[in-house]
């Protein structure tokens, strides 16, 4: 509704989404979003784009250069296709020069082009887009994460005793978890699981604080640490489980069940048939 109000009676609003993932490059940004959509704008637009040098070759190879992207996008907008709103997620996942990406995005913004970005709060992005309207997820999820942490740890009787013995430090531990989470729920879940293991080992509050502060803030580093902590006897099976789940996710929308995973890990290929 807000986008329609922005466009008014001036035309349609075209929306497109893109997600950077680790090795994203500026060349991927516009083609990935618009190549599939150019035909929608009519033959005149498509022919106009085909007319400029390099279009056919770039489209065939999907190997666009930055100047080609800029020219194609500018031609597209000159065709008066309406208003355009891009939703770009994971800007911090781009591994190249972030300032190059910032310049590219700012180059495209106009009275008919809006861009909605999401990223971790890198200084380069905060400085570059400081004049733009913004939302911080942690401002909206802090209380939910706090409730989750309190509920999960509060259910443990050893943590309940620590609240009695350490009435000041125990609540501080909860606050530190929620503050460090920065709205990332999966990080919170993994950290809470680690603290519950510590409580099972009779960790005192100082041990729990140390355990929390030794855990990486970045998810990738945290996953790496978890992999390193797998016992040697399970070292071969762990990566197999990850690969099975990853492969399964590419062929099915439903999660892999525990029984299906157990069959996949079974060394006897006929076991599943004999059980069924």
pLDDT digits (tens, 9 = 90+) for 205-225: 999 999 999 888 877 777 777
pLDDT in 10s for each residue of the chain, 276 residues: 688 888 777 677 878 777 766 554 555 555 444 444 443 444 444 454 545 455 555 555 555 566 766 776 777 667 666 788 888 888 887 767 888 888 888 888 888 888 899 988 889 999 999 999 888 887 888 899 999 999 999 899 999 999 999 999 999 999 999 998 887 888 898 899 999 999 999 999 999 999 999 888 877 777 777 777 767 776 777 778 878 887 877 787 787 887 887 777 776 555 545 544
Cα Rg of the chain (Å, integer)? 25
| Whole-number Å distance between alpha carbons of 178 and 144 | 9
């Amino acid at each position: 509704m807000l986008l329609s109000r922005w466009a008014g009676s001036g035309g349609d609003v075209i929306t497109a989404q893109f997600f950077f993932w680790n090795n994203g490059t500026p060349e991927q940004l516009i083609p990935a979003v618009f190549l599939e959509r150019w035909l929608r704008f009519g033959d005149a637009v498509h022919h106009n784009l085909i007319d400029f040098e390099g279009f056919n070759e770039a489209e065939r190879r999907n190997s666009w250069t930055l100047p080609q992207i800029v020219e194609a996008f500018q031609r597209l907008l000159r065709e008066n296709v309406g208003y355009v709103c891009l939703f770009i997620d994971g800007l911090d996942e781009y591994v190249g020069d972030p300032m190059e990406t910032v310049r590219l995005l700012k180059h495209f913004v106009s009275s008919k082009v809006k861009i909605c970005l999401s990223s971790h709060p890198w200084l380069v992005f905060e400085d570059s887009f400081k004049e733009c309207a913004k939302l911080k997820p942690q401002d909206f999820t802090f209380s939910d994460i706090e409730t989750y942490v309190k509920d999960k740890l509060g259910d443990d009787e050893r943590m309940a005793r620590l609240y009695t013995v350490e009435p000041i430090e125990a609540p501080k531990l909860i606050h530190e978890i929620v503050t460090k989470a920065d709205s990332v729920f999966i990080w919170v879940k993994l950290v809470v699981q680690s603290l519950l293991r510590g409580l099972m080992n009779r960790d005192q509050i100082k041990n729990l604080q140390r355990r929390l502060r030794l855990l990486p803030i970045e998810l990738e580093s945290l996953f790496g640490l978890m992999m390193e902590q797998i016992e040697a006897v399970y070292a071969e099976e762990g990566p197999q489980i990850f690969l099975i789940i990853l492969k399964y996710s590419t062929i099915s929308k439903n999660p892999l069940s525990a029984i299906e995973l157990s069959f996949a890990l079974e060394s006897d290929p006929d076991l599943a048939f004999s059980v069924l």
